[in-house]
Chains A and B, each alone.
Chain A
Amino acid sequence: MNATAQRTEAAILLAASEVKGARVINFQNENIGDVDELLIEPDTGQVRFAVLSVGGFLGLGSTKVAVPWLAFQIVSERGKIKYMMLDATRERLEKAPRVEGKNYERLYLANAAEPIFVYWDVEWTAER
């Protein structure tokens, strides 16, 4: 799957505070969770990950997974985000790399971040 081709429908800028809480659905049209946080790399300004709350979908407590921004398709309406799509079945989410607490420092490191990009089939582009 080429996750980065034609990912959005409109030429817009998204407000980060509106992305937080956005609904995420999979290709089976199941509600898999919502966006809990966006993780930004300060020196490049790149949004590296969206942290998803997927506990309900998996039937677990508060389970969070970090997913590369470029793995999503963003659907917007009149300049506002409507929902985000992720190619994620229950099995794929169950095995996905999780995030514990707010330890985002770890995700800055290539040896922690790159496997997550690989898992979600997104090309890893950083030079660290």
Chain B
Amino acid sequence: MKTILKTIAVSLLLIVVGAGGSVAWAKSKNPATNYSSLVGASEIKGTHVKNLQNQDLGQIDEVLIDPDTGQVRFVILEVGGFLGLGATRIAVPLSAFQITQEGNTSKWVLDADKEKLKNAPKVEGKNYQRLYIRAEAEPIFVYWRIKWVEPESSSNP
């Protein structure tokens, strides 16, 4: 059943792309990010993230991809040191970051203070499957004030 739904979702997405150019992608385009290169996933891992106050929040531990669409859904951020807690990992939607080029490297900024990070939805272990489910993923988008984009939603305007 899940597979069928998924296939339908992918078909819908293709229809949108076919009818309106890159409508589906443009919807999730991040205006705060200005970057004219592709970035290797292995270069992203280990990148330090700062907040708007230029404090080091931690580093990127993983990039989570929806295999059907090739969209990066979440970035896993390790924030232990900043919070003064143990190693805490949180999932943040990619579009919550401002990514800019600095020479050959990238600078990642996330609008988050200590309080915001402390209350952020956490990730336990490497059980990323849970994050695929809308009931789990959407509250994280809401928390980070990112518009939830679901391929299925293109069918009900």
Interchain CB contact under 8 A, A15 and B126: yes
Please report whether the interface of chain B is mostly helix, strand, loop or mixed according to DSSP.
mixed
Chain B 2-25: CB-based contact to A (< 8 A → 1; otherwise 0): 110011001100100110011011
Interchain CB contact under 8 A, B38 and A39: yes
Residue B17 contacts which of A6, A107, A123 (CB distance < 8 angstroms)?
A123
Give A10 to B30 CA distance when docked, in angstroms.
28
Interchain CB contact under 8 A, A44 and B30: yes
Interchain CB contact under 8 A, B10 and A14: no
Please give the number of chain B residues whose Cβ is less than 8 angstroms from any Cβ of chain A in the complex. Answer: 53
Q: A4-B10, A11-B2, A13-B132 are in contact. Are A125 and B64 (CB under 8 A)?
A: no
Closest to B30 in A: A43
Interchain nearest-CB distance for B133 vs A (Å): 8
Given A10-B3, A44-B30, A104-B37, 13 extra CB contacts under 8 A: A5-B10, A13-B129, A16-B62, A16-B63, A17-B41, A38-B65, A39-B40, A42-B33, A43-B30, A43-B34, A43-B35, A44-B28, A105-B37
B-side interface residues toward A, CB under 8 Å?
A: 2-3, 6-7, 10-11, 14, 17-18, 21-22, 24-26, 28-30, 33-42, 44-45, 62-74, 94-95, 99, 106, 126-129, 131-133
